Amino acid sequence: MHLDDGNGFDLTEQGTRKGLAVYVVRSPSEVPGIARLGPDALEVEREQFAAILRSRSGQLKGALTDQTLISGIGNAYSDEILHAARLSPFKGADKLKDDELVRLFDAMRATLTDALDRQRGQKAATMKGEKRSGLMVHARTGLPCPVCGDTVREVSFADTSLQYCPTCQTGGKPLADRRMSKLLR
């Protein structure tokens, strides 16, 4: 997207379902989607983070990617954050113990800070490759986990999927996968 005054921006959309909206407004808060956003992931304090997750019943994966709770974490980095925190994506967000909350908070900050450092100054064309090079589990189904060597597994949904390491995150147990159970039925 290039504007007449020389400004502009690049866009990437990597989901299987493509969606994009561009707004021209005087203040970002005039955009309906932005007005609903939760606090930025890198600006959330630890106590606030704990309170946000405890307010939410449902699975961690969904809580981390819910932009109205905390904004800025997408499908890829939620997989990476959960792996770094050694937590199952299906664990209840409101069921975390204090030490698990601390691990998750620290993993979120470390993962996002590292990702920002990698992407700073990158153009959209090279960003995908740069992003991919730092990933441990996301988009790595069937490959060895860099931490423990177990095989990275996947759970698929209608239009997205998540990846995780059973040894690091789920006590070695594979999570139920809709697509797999359909095959087995």
User: Number of residues in contact with Zn ion, rule: CB under 5 A?
Assistant: 7
Among 100, 118, 167, 175, binds Zn ion (CB under 5 A): 167
Which residue's C-beta sits nearest to Zn ion?
Answer: 145
Among 23, 57, 148, 173, binds Zn ion (CB under 5 A): 148
Q: How far is the CB of 167 from Zn ion (least distance, A)?
A: 5
Which range binds Zn ion by CB under 5 A, 21-29, 40-48, 70-78, 165-173? 165-173
The answer to whether 168 contacts Zn ion (rule: CB under 5 A) is: yes
Q: How far is the CB of 56 from Zn ion (least distance, A)?
A: 26
CA 11 to chain centre: 18
Among 145, 153, 154, 155, binds Zn ion (CB under 5 A): 145
CA-closest candidate to residue 136, choices 102, 117, 110: 110
The answer to whether 135 contacts Zn ion (rule: CB under 5 A) is: no
The answer to whether 165 contacts Zn ion (rule: CB under 5 A) is: yes
The answer to whether 139 contacts Zn ion (rule: CB under 5 A) is: no
Residues found near Zn ion in the complex (CB under 5 A): 145, 147-148, 150, 165, 167-168
